[in-house]
Amino acid sequence: MNLPRSQRSTSSTSSSKKLGGRKSGSGSASRAETGAGKAQVKPAAPPSAEQVALRAYFIAERRRTLGIHGDETSDWIAAEKELLAELKAK
């Protein structure tokens, strides 16, 4: 870091407060233990109604082509399950 000396002492003081009063030299071990250095993963947003409708349409087309009995509601539920499973896999 290319900070002036006055700012360096201020930043080390604030980092020691964040680490619970520990010295900044011993902070690397505590960061690894607490997971503070890990990247936070945002939960994926649920699929939109348009995405579910499009997937349900293709499920219904496949079902009709194969001559399988079913209805719109089961197609919609199957579409939601497929999309949620894809999001979890990512």
Q: In the predicted model, is pLDDT for residue 64 greater than 80? A: yes
Give the total number of structural domains in the chain: 1
Question: Residue 79 domain-assigned?
Answer: yes
Is position 78 within any domain? yes
Rounded to an integer, the average pLDDT of 42-49 is 85
Answer whether residue 73 is part of any domain.
Answer: yes
Mean pLDDT of the region 14-25: 52
> What is the enclosing helix (H) or strand (E) of 67?
none
- The larger pLDDT score, comparing residue 55 to residue 23, is at 55
Q: Are 52 and 87 in contact (CB under 8 A)?
A: no
Residue 63 lies in a domain: yes
pLDDT at 21: 52
The Cα–Cα gap between 61 and 76 comes to: 12
**70 three-state secondary structure:** coil
The structure's pTM equals: 0.53
Within 1-90, residue ranges assigned H as helices are 5-18, 27-34, 49-66, 72-89
pLDDT at 34 over 80: no
Structural domain includes residue 83: yes
Residue 66 included in any domain: yes
pLDDT exceeds cutoff 70 at 85: yes
Q: Answer yes or no: is 44 within a domain.
A: no
HSE-CB for 12 with a 13 A CA cutoff: 12
DSSP designation for 21: S
- 59 lies in a domain? yes
Residue 71's domain spans which residues? 49-89
Question: Is pLDDT above 60 for 29?
Answer: no
